[in-house]
């Protein structure tokens, strides 16, 4: 589908700098966009990507600097809300509500390779693909256009939403949801929260294992990615557009907020909270109950809130525990200082 840039600009009430009669075909994140895509830029920390993006057209705030004249710009006060309107009109997935068979069923056009086994009450949507030697247990729902590789185990009561891609040798334990809508909302003029359509997907690469009751949200646009060989413990939350690197382990009750990138060979211990739109570099270990509020750019071990290198965190913790002693000592010193001042003033 080709969408005229002028039509998109009229839809969102934006002004155009560049070729208004040209068209675009897709939407993508600024660092993933191709030559036929529209993208958006609304946070200053993403301005660095404007120099290298391959996008054709950019929704951008008027006050942001625009160095490149080979791009077409649509100037809007709220690029994120403008993108929402474009997604709603041109790119929103239409769910087919055609009922669910109470018995095991495979939708029209679904390919199930030799050796794949489906349990009872498994529902598989249309145009999907399930590879060889993959076992899908009972009460599992696999929606339209899902691709599942070979040698996978999908345990009971798993839901895999539309358009998600599962690699080879993947294990997904009971109760997990792959591709649930991301937590995306924009407040309107009345203070109500309007839902931002979540039209991306989830990509789970080879040799990943996902524990029970894990939620991995689909991307708003593009993909949420769980990298090769990574392991997610029970009760982990991965938000939309998060990218987890290779061979990374995330322990129970940890959560990663939207659009954050976690590197390769990273360990997040239990109950770690990670803020959105930041990066954690390769070879990083984050201790239990740590809050990561800013990017971690140096490999090492981190602990505390906000996250600090372990040695510094332990020193500070020692001081915190000594605060009552420090307070008492300060009080004694103030008393002695007062006595000295009285002597000097006599």
Catalytic residue list: 240
As beta bridge partners, residue 204 has 166, 226
Number of residues assigned to the chain: 346
Sign of the Cα pseudo-torsion (97, 101, 107, 108, in order): negative
Asked if 128 contacts 145 with a C-beta cutoff of 8 angstroms, the reply is: yes
Give me 109's structure tokens. 């056009």
d(CA 162, CA 143): 5
Produce one character per residue of 12-23: b if its CB has 16 or more CB atoms within 10 Å, e if not.
Answer: bebebbbebeeb
Give me 149's structure tokens. 């590789």
Q: What are the Cα distances from residue 78, in Å, to 27, 161, 184, 194?
A: 17, 30, 15, 14
d(CA 111, CA 133): 13
First to last CA, the chain: 92
Q: What are the Cα distances from residue 154, in Å, to 162, 207, 279?
A: 16, 13, 30
Q: DSSP string of 184-216?
A: -EEE-TTS-EEEPP---EEEE-TT-EE-TT-EE
Q: Among all chains, which residue has been given the structure tokens 């809050």?
A: 291
Q: What are the Cα distances from residue 217, in Å, to 9, 31, 108, 225, 304?
A: 29, 20, 26, 10, 27
Helix (H) or strand (E) holding 86: helix 79-90
According to DSSP, residue 50 is labeled G
Which candidate, 156, 202, 204, places its Cα nearest to that of 181?
A: 202
């Amino acid at each position: 589908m080709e969408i005229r840039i002028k039509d998109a600009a009229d839809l969102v009430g934006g002004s155009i700098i560049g070729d208004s009669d040209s068209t675009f075909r897709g939407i993508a994140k600024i660092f993933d966009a191709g030559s036929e895509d529209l993208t958006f830029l609304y946070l200053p920390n993403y301005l660095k990507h404007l120099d290298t993006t391959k996008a054709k057209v950019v929704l951008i705030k008027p006050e942001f600097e625009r160095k490149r004249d080979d791009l077409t710009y649509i100037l809007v006060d709220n690029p994120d809300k403008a993108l929402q309107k474009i997604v709603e009109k041109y790119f929103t997935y239409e769910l087919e509500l055609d009922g669910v068979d109470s018995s095991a069923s495979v939708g029209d056009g679904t390919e199930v390779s030799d050796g794949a086994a489906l349990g009872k009450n498994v529902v598989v949507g249309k145009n999907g693909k399930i590879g060889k030697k993959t076992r899908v247990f009972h009460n599992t729902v696999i929606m339209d256009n899902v691709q599942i590789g070979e040698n996978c185990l999908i345990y009971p009561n798993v839901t895999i939403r539309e358009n998600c891609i599962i690699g080879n040798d993947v294990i997904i334990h009971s109760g997990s949801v792959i591709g649930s809508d991301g937590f995306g909302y924009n407040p309107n003029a009345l203070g109500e929260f309007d839902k931002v359509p979540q039209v991306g997907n989830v990509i789970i690469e080879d040799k990943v294992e996902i524990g029970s009751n894990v939620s991995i949200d689909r991307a708003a646009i593009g993909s949420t990615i769980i990298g090769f060989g990574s392991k997610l413990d029970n009760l982990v939350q991965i938000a939309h557009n998060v990218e987890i690197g290779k061979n990374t382990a995330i322990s129970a009750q940890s959560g990663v907020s939207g659009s954050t990138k976690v590197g390769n060979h990273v360990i997040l211990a239990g109950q770690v909270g990670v803020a959105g739109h930041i990066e954690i570099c390769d070879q990083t270990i984050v201790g239990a109950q740590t809050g990561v509020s800013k990017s971690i750019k140096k490999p090492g071990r981190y602990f505390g809130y906000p996250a600090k290198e372990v040695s510094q965190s332990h020193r500070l913790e020692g001081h915190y525990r000594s605060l009552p002693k420090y307070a008492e000592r300060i009080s004694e010193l103030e008393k002695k200082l007062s006595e000295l001042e009285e002597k000097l003033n006599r």
